Structure 1
Amino acid sequence: MRSPDRSVPHGYRLRPGTDLLDLAERLREAMAPVRDRAEIVQVAEFAAKALDTADLAGTPRPESVIFDAVQAQAVHVGQILAGEHSCHLNTVTVAVSDDPETGLLYALMFPKHPAFAAELDELELGDYYPYWNEADTEQQRPTGVSAAEWERRAETWTRVLRGTDPWDPTGMFRIDVGNVYPDADLINRAADVFAAMPSIEDRIHHALHELQNRQEFDSPSELMAFVNAMPEHQQRIEAGLKPITLEDIAGGVR
């Protein structure tokens, strides 16, 4: 029985003749706008949350909301890195090594955000070339891959990995794209953040979610009373939320 630590569902066989420096540049060019968009959306969500919190509390809206939102995103990233949240980081890591028998290059791809995974598929860098132990994972190999081919993949990945952990590889050529923390220049991009502002429906949903998370119930009857009152809570939130303008984001239209 093969060890499950050779499971590589994130494995790819790169195209023959792939130049690693060109690959790194291609990845950075393709992923930069994806990361930029993801960061802007996240900062917009924190900005909306700050404004909505003030609206629902009946207090003045913060004047430096874009600065506060970028700071909040940086704190959130720190919480992710500390293991307090399981949200996606705006980074991509690709680890590459060769098969010493054939000279072909194989890659392990770690897109931390779903948008990166979609972009990697669009780039068509090579063939999806996974392997896992069917008995250990209780998951069948892909349709159309024969048992003999699956065995060859196991042998190939054994040579390529050279004993390293496929989920935390060492001794491989690494390409890291993106910074984990938000770019400071986002505080000057109020128009972009405003364009990515969540819809009123999303703002209501997030406010309801925050309300639920703050609740503590001493009995099942208290829980049921809260659940039964959800329509009233939603109506109150809808009535309390105000439109968000560019001036709200920037503290003066920019």
Structure 2
Amino acid sequence: MTDSDLAILHGYRLPKGADPLELAASLRAMAEPIRTKLELKEIARFATGILDEADLEGTKRPASVIFDAISAQAEHVAAIMAGEHNCPTVTLGLALTDDPVSGDLMALAFHSHEEYARGIDDLGVAEYFPYWDEEATGESRPMGVGATEWGARGIIWERALRGTDPDDPTGMFRIEFGSPLPGVDLLTRADEILAEIPDLETRIHHALHTLATEQEFESPAEAMAFMASMPAHQQRIANALRPITLSDLAGGER
């Protein structure tokens, strides 16, 4: 019987004779544009936050917003890597091991964005081969996988893992695709960042959420009064937020 705590959500089995270096090259070509897109979205999110904060405070928008956004994202990533919080990064990682009985190569993928999972599936370089304890998790196995086959998967993964933690494995061949830190080349990609700026409705929703989470109430009456004032806050925010243009990103307020 396999360990009830064993959970492999992004596990794969490679075809017979698969070359890890060829696999790495294929995955790198797939991962790079995905990582770039995710990174552009992150910088756009930080840039939007900086510009919206200025709008809501009634101050002049900064002229160096892309630089400020890249700096903010770099600080954010540094905090993630220091273990201060667990927000997702934009990277893809892979750890390879083998099943000592069959000799099959097994892979664990590490990412926080489904774009990478879809990219791996679209490449067709490996068979999606997850496993978890259905009773312990309350989650059913994938459609089309029988109970006997599912149980055999757990045994295969236990053999391949050799006792290491699947969430932080040791003794495996590791491949990391991309850096979690933003690249300085983003300074010249204002048009691509602009394309990832959230729409006004999303910006208003985010500002409202931030306002709500910052509140401290001393009584239920205060909390009720604040909730009653939310439509007015929403209108105030909607009136304050201005469109974000390429000139706002690339050179600040003209």
Please confirm whether the aligned pair reaches a TM-score higher than 0.5, indicating the same fold.
Answer: yes
Distance between the aligned counterparts of 1:154 and 1:21, measured in 2?
27
Any conservation in 2 of the 1:14–1:107 contact (CA below 8 Å)? yes
Q: Say whether residues 1:94 and 2:121 are aligned partners.
A: no
Q: Say whether residues 1:234 and 2:242 are aligned partners.
A: no
Change (3 A) 1:134 1:246: closer
Partner amino acid, structure 1, of 2:17? G
For 2:126, the equivalent position in structure 1 comes to: 126
Q: Say whether residues 1:77 and 2:77 are aligned partners.
A: yes
For 1:215, the equivalent position in structure 2 comes to: 215
Shift of residue 138 of structure 1?
4.1
Q: Could you give the per-residue CA deviations for residues 47-98 of structure 1, whole angstroms, max 9, x where no partner exists?
A: 1111111111111111100100001111111232334433211111111112
Distance between the aligned counterparts of 1:140 and 1:214, measured in 2?
39
Question: Structure 1 residues 10-19 or 88-97, which shifts more?
Answer: 10-19
For 1:104, the equivalent position in structure 2 comes to: 104
For 1:31, the equivalent position in structure 2 comes to: 31
Shift of residue 30 of structure 1?
0.5
Shift of residue 35 of structure 1?
0.6
Change (3 A) 1:58 1:142: closer
Change (3 A) 1:237 1:27: same
Identity of aligned residues (%): 52
Distance between the aligned counterparts of 1:109 and 1:51, measured in 2?
36
Q: Could you give the per-residue CA deviations for residues 192-220 of structure 1, whole angstroms, max 9, x where no partner exists?
A: 11122111111111111221122111111
Q: What is the SS of the residue equivalent to 2:34? A: helix
For 2:171, the equivalent position in structure 1 comes to: 171
Partner amino acid, structure 1, of 2:163? G
For 1:146, the equivalent position in structure 2 comes to: 146
Distance between the aligned counterparts of 1:146 and 1:103, measured in 2?
23
Q: Say whether residues 1:186 and 2:186 are aligned partners.
A: yes
Q: What is the SS of the residue equivalent to 1:4? A: coil
Change (3 A) 1:135 1:205: closer
Distance between the aligned counterparts of 1:91 and 1:56, measured in 2?
33
For 1:137, the equivalent position in structure 2 comes to: 137
Partner amino acid, structure 2, of 1:34? I
Q: What is the SS of the residue equivalent to 1:212? A: helix
The root-mean-square deviation of aligned C-alpha atoms, in Å, is 1.9
Q: Could you give the per-residue CA deviations for residues 160-212 of structure 1, whole angstroms, max 9, x where no partner exists?
A: 11222211111111111111111121122112111221111111111112211
Distance between the aligned counterparts of 1:209 and 1:223, measured in 2?
15
For 2:160, the equivalent position in structure 1 comes to: 160
For 2:251, the equivalent position in structure 1 comes to: 251
Q: What is the SS of the residue equivalent to 1:109? A: strand
Any conservation in 2 of the 1:9–1:130 contact (CA below 8 Å)? yes
Partner amino acid, structure 1, of 2:16? P
Partner amino acid, structure 1, of 2:214? R
Any conservation in 2 of the 1:5–1:166 contact (CA below 8 Å)? no
Shift of residue 140 of structure 1?
4.0
For 1:53, the equivalent position in structure 2 comes to: 53
Any conservation in 2 of the 1:51–1:61 contact (CA below 8 Å)? yes
Provide the TM-score with structure 2 as the length reference.
0.92
Distance between the aligned counterparts of 1:36 and 1:224, measured in 2?
44
Shift of residue 5 of structure 1?
4.4
Partner amino acid, structure 1, of 2:2? R
For 1:202, the equivalent position in structure 2 comes to: 202
Distance between the aligned counterparts of 1:191 and 1:66, measured in 2?
11
Q: What is the SS of the residue equivalent to 2:13? A: strand
Q: What is the SS of the residue equivalent to 2:131? A: coil
The unaligned stretches of length 5 or more in structure 2 are none
The unaligned stretches of length 5 or more in structure 1 are none
Change (3 A) 1:179 1:204: same
For 1:10, the equivalent position in structure 2 comes to: 10
Distance between the aligned counterparts of 1:104 and 1:198, measured in 2?
44
